[in-house]
Amino acid sequence: MQKVVKRNILGYKNNESKSQRAPFHSTAGSLWTDGAQERLDPQRFHVPALIKPVLSRLWRSVAIVVAIAALNFIIVHMAPGDVADVMAGESGAASPEYLADLKQRFGLDQPLIVQFFVYMGRMAQFDLGYSFRFGRPVASLIFERLPATLILAIPTLMLAFVMGSVLGVVASRRVGTWRDAAISVGALVFYATPLFWIGLMLIILFGVKLGWLPTGGMQTIGANYTGFAYVLDVGRHMILPVVTLSLFYMAYYARLMRASMLEVFGQDFIATARSKGLSEGRVAYRHVLRNALLPVVTVLGLQVAHLLGGTVLVETVFGWPGLGRLAFDSVLSRDVNLLLGILLMSSILVVSTNIAVEALYRWLDPRIGAA
Amino acid sequence: MAPLLDVRDLTTHFFTQKGAFAAVDKVSFSVNAGETMALVGESGCGKSVTAASILRLVPDPPGRITGGEIIFEGRDLLSLTMREMRKVRGGRIGMIFQEPMTSLNPVFTIGDQITESLREHRSISRADAERRAIELLDLVRIPDARRQIHNYPHRLSGGMRQRAMIAMALACDPALLIADEPTTALDVTTQAQILELLDELKRSLGMAILLITHDLGVVAEYAQSVLVMYAGRGVEAAKVEDLFHSPIHPYTRGLLGALPHPDDDVDSEGRPLPLNEISGMVPALDAMPAGCRFEPRCSYAVPACKMTDVRLAPLAEGVRSAACLRAADIVQDQP
Ligand SMILES: Nc1ncnc2c1ncn2[C@@H]1O[C@H](COP(=O)(O)OP(=O)(O)OP(=O)(O)O)[C@@H](O)[C@H]1O
Ligand SMILES: [Mg+2]
C-alpha cells in the first residue's frame, strides 16, 4: 500500500485536529502535565523532599502571624473606648482622677505608636501581658480555656468532614433519586439556617422538651465527677454544641463532595476504570473518591478560621467555657491585652492547621510535590 | 468459522431534552479473530458510541442500547449479567481511548493501574502482578519498566501514556482490543510508532483489533476490513483492498476523492491543491432526512432516495455490501 497519508477525513492535519476537536481535554491535559514531560524520578517520597516545602512554609507562616498581630493591634485600637472607660463606668463614680489613674496603670496614656512597639516587642518574647479585667496573665487564661474550645472544634470538624463526605458520596452515587434529593435538600436547609437558631431549637427539643441532654455548661455543677464518670459527663454536655456547630459544616461538605464526585465521575479515566471490569463500588471508592477529596481537603484548611468564629456563637449559646466566649467577653469589656492574645492564638492555630492540610494534600495528590 | 465479534443491528439511543435519537442505528459488522477491522467516519457519526456499546459502557442516562445483538465468543453480550459483563471488560476485551492525557488516573502509579486489572481478573499475588506489569511495560517498549511502574502518569509524555494504556488493556490477554482513535491526540511521529506497535502486538499475541479512526490512510495501512459509517449508520462494508480499489457508496467515493495522494498533493508550482471535499454538511440529529441520510449531499441521488430508508445490503460478489439504491449502477460504471 501507499505511504500513510497524514490527513483525516475532514481535511485538516491530525495535529491541528487535536486542539480543534477536544479543547477541553487538551487544557485538562496541560493542566495536569504542568508542561513537564518525562521526568523520570520515582523517588518522590524522599523524606527531605516532603519536609523542605513544609519548612519553607513555616518561615512564611511566621511572617504571616507577625503581620496578623500588627493588624489586630490596629483594628482593636480603632474601636472607641478602652478598658478604663468600661471599668470606671461599672464602678459608678467615675471621677476624672480615678480614670487617669487607671489609664496610667495600664499604660493607656502613652501615644498609640509607643503602645504598638511595646506590644510587638512583648509578642516577640511570647509575653502576652496581663488581662486588665481578670488581673491574671493572658497566657494562663488562654491555656485554661483552650482545651474546652479544642474538644468542641476538633470533634466538630471530624464529624462534619466524615459525615458530610459520606452523605455527598451517597448522593452522588444515587444522583436523581429520592435519596439524592433528600440529602441535597437537607444540606441546603442546614447550610442556610443560622447557627444560633439551630442551637436554640436543639436546646428546646432535647434539653427542655425531652430532657435527654444538658442544655448548657461543660459539666454538671456540683456533681464533682472524677475519672470515667467525668469524661462521660463532659461527653454528654458536648453533644448539643458539637451537633449544632457541625450541621452547617456537614451540609457544606456534603454539597461540595457531591459536586466534586459528580465532576470526577465524568472524567475519562473513570471510563478507563470501568473498561477494566471494575465494579461500580470499586470505581466510586477507589478511582472517584480519591480524586474528589482533593478540593474538599483544600476547603477544610480554609474553614478552620471560620470554625473558630462559629465557636464564639456556640459557646455563647451553650454557656461553654471556651476561648470563644472569653474573646466575646474581652471585646465587651475592652480587655485589649486579652483580646489580642486570643486573636494571636487563633491565628497560630489557623496557620498551623493550614500547614498540616497542605502536607495532607501533598500526600493525596502526587502531581503537586517535589518538583 | 464464526467471527470473534459479530455485531448485528446494534441500535443505541440517547434520550435528551430535545427528544430521543439513535446515535447508532442498526449497525452491523463483524471482526474475525486475529484481524484488524476499522470503523471510519466523520466526527459525530457514532463510532465511539458503537465502541462503548460493545462493552456496555454507554452512559445511562442519557444513553441506552435499544436493539440488536453483540455476539462475542459465541455469547450475546447484551444478555449477560453485570457480573459476567465485568469479566469480559478488561478480561476478554481490552479498550484504549483517544486521550492518553486524561485516560489514566492521576493519583495512582502506572504500576498500580496495571496490576489493578490483573488482580481483578486473576487470582494472582501482588508480587506476581508486579512482575507481570513490568513484563507488559517491556512489551509495549516503555524503557526502564522496572522504575516506570512506580511513576505517576503526569511524569510521562502522551506517547508513553498511550503505551501504558495499551499495556493495561493487554494485561489479561484479551482476544479483542478496541482502540478508539488511539493516536488522534498524538503528534505525527508518535502516531506512527503507536500504530506500528499495535500492529506488531496484534501479530505476536494473535488478538483482533477494532480500530476506530477518521484517517483513511491509517485504514489502508493497518486494517484488513472496514465499515464506513455516516450519521449513525453503516454505509459500506468491505475488505480494505476492495474499498480502496473500487469504492461503491457515494460517501466513500467522496472520502476517497478527498484523500490527497502524496504525489499530486501539490501542483506544478509546488502549491497545495485544493481538496476534493464533499459539499454540504452532515444533517443535524434532530433533522435527519427520512430516506437515505446522505441523499442531500449526494451527486448520484435520484428521487427514490428521498423515500427509501436504504440499509447495508450485500452486493452480487457477496463479500462486500453498501447502503445505496444505486449501488448496482455505480458498480457497472466502474472501469
Ligand atoms: N453522553 C451523550 N449524550 C448525548 N449525546 C451523545 C452522548 N455521547 C455521544 N452523543 C451523541 O452521539 C453521536 C455520536 O457520537 P460519537 O462520540 O460516537 O461520535 P464519533 O464518531 O466517535 O466522533 P469523534 O470522531 O468526534 O470521536 C454524537 O452526535 C453525539 O452528540
Ligand atoms: Mg469518538
Q: What percent of chain A has pLDDT over 70?
A: 80
Note the pTM of the prediction, 2 decimals.
0.78
Q: Specify whether the CB–CB gap between A167 and A187 falls below 8 A.
A: yes
DSSP 3-state of A6: coil
With an 8 Å Cβ cutoff, are A271 and B97 in contact? Answer: yes
Contact B286/B273 with Cβ under 8 angstroms? Answer: no
The ligand with the least distance to the CA atom of B44 is 1
Q: Is B16 on the interface with A (CB under 8 A)?
A: no
Q: Which residues of chain B have pLDDT under 70?
A: 258-279, 316-318, 334-335
Asked if B126 contacts B209 with a C-beta cutoff of 8 angstroms, the reply is no
Spatial strand order of the sheet with B63-72 comes to B19-31, B5-16, B63-72, B75-76
Average pLDDT over residues A312-321: 87
Each residue's pLDDT tens digit, A240-253: 889 988 999 999 99
A18-66 pLDDT, tens digit per residue, is 333 333 333 333 222 333 333 334 444 445 555 666 677 788 888 888 8
CATH topology of domain A136-364: MetI-like fold (1.10.3720)
Enumerate the domain spans of chain A.
136-364
> Which of A169, A342, A167, A133 minimizes the C-alpha distance to A247?
A167
pLDDT tier, A83 (very low <50, low <70, confident <90, very high otherwise):
low
Ion ligand 2 — residues with CB < 5 Å: B 48
Alpha helix ranges (H) inside B20-109: 47-54, 82-88
Residues of A (16-75) whose Cβ lies below 8 Å from B? 17-18, 21-22, 25-26, 28-29, 32-34, 36-42, 44
pLDDT of residue A54: 67
Residue B212 and residue B222 in contact, taking contact as beta carbons nearer than 8 Å: no
Q: Phi, psi at residue A126, to the nearest 5°?
A: 55, 30
**Could you say which of B86, B102, B109 has the minimum Cβ distance to residue A269?**
B102
pLDDT recorded at residue A287: 93
DSSP string, A67-78: HHHHHHHHHHHH
Measured between alpha carbons, how far is residue A101 from residues A71, A91, A332, B230, B232 in Å? 28, 14, 21, 95, 92
Rounded CA separation A60/B72 (Å): 62
CB atoms within 10 A of CB A39: 12
Distance from the Cα of B209 to chain A's closest Cα (Å) equals 16
Tell me the pLDDT tens digit for each residue of A261-304.
999 998 899 999 999 999 999 999 999 999 999 888 888 888 88
Ligand in closest contact with the CA of B19: 1
- Closest B-chain CA to A40: B155
- DSSP per-residue codes, A139-206: HHHHHHHHHHHHHHHHHHHHHHHHHHHHHHHHHHHTTTSHHHHHHHHHHHHHHHS-HHHHHHHHIIII
Q: What is the spatial distance between Cα B276 and Cα B329, in angstroms, rounded to a whole number?
A: 23
Q: What is the pLDDT of residue A12?
A: 35
Distance A259 CA to ligand 1 centre (A): 24
Ligand 2 centroid – CA B45 distance (Å): 8
Nearest-Cα distance to chain A for B85, in Å, is 8
Which of A34, A271, A291 has the CB atom closest to B107's CB atom?
A291
Percent of chain A with pLDDT over 90: 17
Give the model confidence (pLDDT) of B160-192 as tens digits: 898 899 999 999 999 999 999 888 877 888 888
Pocket test for ligand 1, best of B10, B47, B178 (most atoms within 8 A of CB): B47
From the number of C-beta atoms within 10 Å of its C-beta (0-12, 13-18, 19+), residue B88 rates as: buried
Q: Which of these, A23, A25, A4, lies nearest to A13 by C-alpha position?
A: A4
- Whether A223 shows a pLDDT value over 90: the answer reads no
**Domains defined for chain B, CATH in brackets:** 5-223 (3.40.50.300), 230-333 (no CATH)
Side-chain half-sphere CA neighbours of B168 within 13 A: 34
pLDDT of residue B101: 84
Which residue, judged by its Cα, is nearest atom 20 of ligand 1? B44
Give the pocket of ligand 1 (CB within 6 Å). Answer: B 14, 16, 23, 41, 43-49, 59, 62-63, 214, 285
Distance CA B125, CA B3 (A): 35
CA distance A28 to chain B (A): 7
Residue A204: count other Cβ atoms within 10 Å of its Cβ.
12
Residue A41: per-residue pLDDT: 42
Sheet of strand B321-322, all strands in order from the earlier edge strand to the far edge: B93-96, B176-180, B208-213, B36-40, B225-230, B233-239, B321-322, B313-314
Contacts of A243 (CB under 8 A, 6+ apart): A202
Backbone angles phi, psi at A130, to 5 degrees: -105, 145
- Are B150 and A42 in contact (CB < 8 Å)? yes
Fill in the DSSP letter of residue B122.
S
Ligand nearest to the CA of B213: 1
Amino acid at A191: Y
DSSP A283: I
Reply yes or no on whether the pLDDT at A122 is more than 80: yes
Per 3-state DSSP, chain A is made up of helix, strand and coil in percentages (nearest 5) of 75, 0, 25
Q: Which residue has the cell 489580642?
A: A340
Nearest to B7, CA basis, from B95, B58, B56, B72: B72
Q: How far apart are CA A122 and CA A120, in angstroms?
A: 5
Q: Which of B155, B239, B240 is best to mutate for the A interface (most A CBs within 10 A)?
A: B155
CA of A35 to the centre of ligand 1 (A): 29
**Which of B302-325 are b and which e, b meaning 16 or more Cβ less than 10 Å from the residue's Cβ?**
eeebeeeebebeebeeeebbbbbb
Cα(B9)–Cα(B69) distance, integer angstroms? 7
Alpha helices by DSSP H, chain B: 47-54, 82-88, 110-121, 126-139, 145-148, 158-170, 188-205, 216-222, 240-245, 250-258, 303-307, 327-333
Amino acid at the residue B136: L
Enclosing H/E stretch for A223: none
Nearest-Cα distance to chain B for A306, in Å, is: 30
In chain A, positions 248-277, which contact chain B (CB-CB < 8 Å)?
267-269, 271-277
Burial of B289 (0-12, 13-18, 19+ CB in 10 A): middle
Candidates B36, B121, B152: best to mutate against A (most CBs of A within 10 A) is B152
A277 contacts in B (CB within 8 Å)?
86-91, 117, 120-121
Count CB atoms within 10 A of the CB of residue A51: 11
C-alpha atoms less than 13 angstroms from C-alpha of A332 in its C-beta half-sphere = 7
Nearest by CB to residue A5, choosing from B109, B150, B217, is: B217
Contacts of A37 in chain B (CB under 8 A): 156-157
For the beta carbon of residue A26, count every other beta carbon within 10 angstroms: 17
User: In chain A, which residues have their Cβ closer than 8 Å to the Cβ of B101?
Assistant: 25-26, 28-29, 32-33
ipTM summary value: 0.87
